[in-house]
Amino acid sequence: MRREIKELIIKSLNLEGMTPDEIGDDAPLFQEGLGLDSIDALELAVVIERTYQVTIPNEAAGKKAFSSVSALAEYVSEHRPA
């Protein structure tokens, strides 16, 4: 699922020229890591919700879920409908 999420990040945020292998599983998605910003977070939240039918209910849940690809994969796995 991590690779799938990396591909989703690249496609939905138009990170042209980047490959899934260039995104570390535990690297931060924001600031010093991948360098995403709050607009990217909103776009990514919408794509995650549409793709996996997983709702990110508030900022606190979003900060935890979007801390890294690993955290996002774990969040999706835990909250995805059966």
Cα separation of 54 and 75, whole Å?
A: 9
Q: What is the pLDDT of residue 3?
A: 95
Residue 81 clears pLDDT 90, i.e. is over it? no
What would be the CATH architecture of the domain defined by 2-79? Answer: Orthogonal Bundle (1.10)
Spell out the SS3 assignment of 12-53.
Answer: HCCCCCCCHHHCCCCCCCECCCCCECHHHHHHHHHHHHHHHC
Torsions phi, psi for 30 (to 5 deg): -110, 165
The 3-state DSSP class for residue 77 equals helix
Domain ranges of the chain: 2-79
- pLDDT tens digits along 32-79: 778 888 888 889 999 999 999 999 988 888 889 999 999 999 999 999
